[in-house]
């Protein structure tokens, strides 16, 4: 049974890395002492070791150890053996390229479908969708495909951002960008605001955290989903 | 001799389509009555006809007619025969996909190198760089390559946006995204603010318009380039 947390962000403004999620993560990872970390998205280009150390520092607070997937000789086996997985944020193009390069996209999907608890933040959340085509990231590297894990039946837009009132900037708003996506794709998109997350248990996807999400369905007016509600598309 | 205008945006806040550039365009396109328009980037998913009509309306003010490339049976010939070309903004992933699909990337490059006046705005500017990897757009479609025209020896970031002071949003700033690009690529990037443009005459690239540009060179601290200055990388 799927057991996933799809979080908009690792960090909310004014708080430390993962701090706002730690209570939730204590019960989420209750059956494992060790978490397998996928540092592939490398925010700011830091090394895999540095990124893994940052994740380890956060999880230390709830008594968990963290190992980076790059420390394993066989990343496919590392995923198959993991009792809990976390993919951090950074650049989604890089993350997806690395998942394909190390041939772990499919094994990761299988582990999640088999019930291994999976936490994603930002880019790590993006890949839970059917494609990475609603990422906000810059295409700094050319991935072999935009297809991702598809462990939920919709796409994710993490760090969802409302139009800034009074802005004189003429670049597209997030909403405009997602509407452009829907000119060529019919998948629903869930825009998750920073501080909220989707809790997946089996086939039930529930919005949690303090904020509403913005839902974009093909050929429908976008709407808000209240926290505590199920994400359902008919 | 190359003759190009690489504009950050088609439209500045509070003004009409291309209005801020019309004086410049009068002299830029002085040797042609007709402009070939590439509507492939389709902002907001509007049709090629609708987009071409919008461009035609703007150019009417300076006595030019506009024909969309989609009106021609043979787009390669249309480009070769054009005396002036304009590629509008929208989604860069879509634009690049269409340029490859219609096999006009290389012909367009050759026309520009042969001296056909070329105006790009936003996505149409992005493709002047060596790659589209510093676009702000969402990857709504998977292009066969990120390589673009390469008619200038650097990459473009149009609609360059400074970090918003006091913002509590944790998504990456534009500067952070471009720095991430430089973890995997060494090309210089020119961040052009809305209202300014790069004027290319032969091998001379000059920043014009009211605003400074932000320059990102590999392993250097980003810096501002004054308007009227040449864009030079040693």
> B195 with B211: CB under 8 angstroms?
yes
B152 to A83, B76, B165, B200, B206: CA distances (angstroms): 51, 22, 32, 8, 11
pLDDT at A22: 97
Share of chain B above pLDDT 70, in %: 100
Q: Does A15 touch chain B (CB under 8 A)?
A: no
pLDDT at A200: 98
The secondary structure of residue B157, as a DSSP letter, is E
Rounded distance between C-alpha atoms, residue A47 and residue A49, angstroms: 5
pLDDT tier at B200, thresholds 50, 70, 90: very high
Q: Does B186 touch chain A (CB under 8 A)?
A: no
Residues B57-100: pLDDT tens digits?
Answer: 999 999 999 999 999 999 999 999 999 999 999 999 999 999 99
CB contacts < 8 A, A to B, total 125
Contacts of A34 (CB under 8 A, 6+ apart): A64, A65, A66, A67, A82, A83, A84
> B5 with B198: CB under 8 angstroms?
yes
> A92 with A128: CB under 8 angstroms?
no
Suggest the residue from A130, A137, A172 to mutate for an interface test with chain B (most B CBs closer than 10 A).
Answer: A172
Q: Does B165 touch chain A (CB under 8 A)?
A: no
Residues B18-55: pLDDT tens digits?
Answer: 999 999 999 999 999 999 999 999 988 899 999 999 99
pLDDT tier at A113, thresholds 50, 70, 90: very high
Q: Does B2 touch chain A (CB under 8 A)?
A: no
Cβ neighbours around B17 below 10 Å, total: 17
A33 to A72, A113, B114: CA distances (angstroms): 17, 21, 65
**CB-CB: which of B13, B136, B140 is closest to A133?**
B140
- Nearest chain A residue to B123 by CA distance is A171
pLDDT at A165 over 80: yes
Compute φ and ψ for B217, nearest 5 degrees. Answer: -110, 150
> B126 with B135: CB under 8 angstroms?
yes
**Interface contact B172-A137, CB threshold 8 A:** yes
Compute φ and ψ for B60, nearest 5 degrees. Answer: -55, -35
A-chain CB neighbours of B183 within 8 Å are: 42, 44-45, 140
Average pLDDT, chain B: 96
Exposed/middle/buried for B161, CB within 10 Å: 0-12, 13-18, 19+? middle
Give me the interface pTM, i.e. the ipTM: 0.94
Residues B146-187: pLDDT tens digits?
Answer: 999 999 999 999 999 998 888 889 889 999 999 999 999 999
**CB-CB: which of B135, B139, B146 is closest to A135?**
B139
pLDDT at B234 over 80: no
Q: Does B14 touch chain A (CB under 8 A)?
A: yes
pLDDT tier at A43, thresholds 50, 70, 90: confident
Q: Does B173 touch chain A (CB under 8 A)?
A: no
pLDDT tier at B122, thresholds 50, 70, 90: very high
Helix (H/G/I), strand (E/B), else coil: B54: helix
Residues B220-232: pLDDT tens digits?
Answer: 999 999 999 999 9
**Interface contact B13-A168, CB threshold 8 A:** yes
Domains of chain A: 3-225 (3.40.50.880)
Share of chain A above pLDDT 70, in %: 100
**CB-CB: which of B9, B138, B146 is closest to A134?**
B138
């Amino acid at each position: 049974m799927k057991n996933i947390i799809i979080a908009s962000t690792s960090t909310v403004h004014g708080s430390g890395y993962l701090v706002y999620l730690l209570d939730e993560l204590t019960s989420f990872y209750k059956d494992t002492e060790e978490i397998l970390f996928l540092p592939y998205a490398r925010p700011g280009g830091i090394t895999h070791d540095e990124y893994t150390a940052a994740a380890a520092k956060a999880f230390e607070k709830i008594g968990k150890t963290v190992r980076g997937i790059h420390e394993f000789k066989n990343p496919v086996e590392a995923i198959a053996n993991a009792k809990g997985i976390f993919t951090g944020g950074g650049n989604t193009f890089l993350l997806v390229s690395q998942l394909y390069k190390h041939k772990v996209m499919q094994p990761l999907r299988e582990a999640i479908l088999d019930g291994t608890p999976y936490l994603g933040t930002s880019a790590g959340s993006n890949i839970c969708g059917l494609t990475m085509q609603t990422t906000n990231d810059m295409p700094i590297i050319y991935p072999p495909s935009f297809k991702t894990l598809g462990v939920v039946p919709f796409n994710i837009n993490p760090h969802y951002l409302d139009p800034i009132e009074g802005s004189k900037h003429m670049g597209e708003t997030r909403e405009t960008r997602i509407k452009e996506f829907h000119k060529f794709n019919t998948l629903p998109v869930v825009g998750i605001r920073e501080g909220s997350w989707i809790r997946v248990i089996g086939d039930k996807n529930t919005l949690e955290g303090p904020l509403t999400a913005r839902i974009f369905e093909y050929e429908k007016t976008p709407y808000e989903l209240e926290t505590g509600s199920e994400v359902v598309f008919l």
